[in-house]
Amino acid sequence: MITLEDVKKNAQILEFINQTEEAMEALRYTNHGRRHSDVVAERCMHIAKEMGLSDREAELAAIAGFCHDMGNFLTRTYHHFFGAQLFSQVFIGKSDPKELAMIMQAISNHDKDEMNFVHTVSALLVLADKSDVHRNRVSKQSMEETKADIHDRVNWATTESGLNVDNKTKKIVLSLKIDTTFCPIMEYFEIFTERMEFCRKAAQFLGYNFGLQINDVELL
């Protein structure tokens, strides 16, 4: 069985992620490289453990989380499909066929309108990925450039971001701290409403409701 440690040490996977980071910076996108990969993998693991899922489910989700965006250096539009294929090329014959297929499906499923959850790994990845909003994702150094782009403004204004799992109320809550002197909260909803809908669907598949809390105020 492949482990998250195996994946993080694989030179080919790391190069795909490095190339993606360079490609996204050239396009002036928020970080889709190693920082985002690590955060999503860790968040997948955290959610799974908080929900009481098996260690193997947690690790498979973390592997998918680490690799989910690495197809971006080939194409932004179809990066999820290419990412799944790249993962297969690296690990086919080196991992359990069923687990390989689950990771591939999770990567392919994480960023498309027709999301169809068929296993926990895929749902965990969507929650972890779509909830990663934070100023550390802003790669631009110029504040004037940051102010000019709504995605950068929202991410830069977000100083804290975390997912909390409440097993008693069966609710998964995304908790954010947003500096409203830099960016109004309404701008968050302008660009992230669709992502919150993806999170809601993923949480429901896992048997939970999804909630959103901004600056200690529960909005969803």
The three-state (H, E, C) secondary structure of 61-95, written as one string? HHHHHHHCCHHHHCCCCCHHHHHHHHHHHHHCCCC
Q: Whole-angstrom Cα distance, residue 76 to residue 108?
A: 13
Protein fold of 4-218: Hypothetical protein af1432 (1.10.3210)
Q: Which two tokens stand for residue 33?
A: 């490289």
* Residue 114 pLDDT: 72
φ/ψ of residue 217, rounded to 5: -110, 120
Q: Which two tokens stand for residue 37?
A: 């990969």
Q: Whole-angstrom Cα distance, residue 168 to residue 165?
A: 9
Strands lying side by side in the sheet with 158-166: 158-166, 171-178, 209-214, 217-218
pLDDT tens for the chain, 220 residues long, are: 899 999 999 999 999 999 999 999 888 888 899 999 999 999 999 999 999 999 999 999 999 999 999 999 999 999 999 999 999 999 999 999 999 999 999 999 998 767 889 999 999 999 999 999 999 998 765 556 777 788 889 999 999 999 999 999 999 999 999 999 989 999 999 999 999 999 999 999 999 999 999 999 998 7
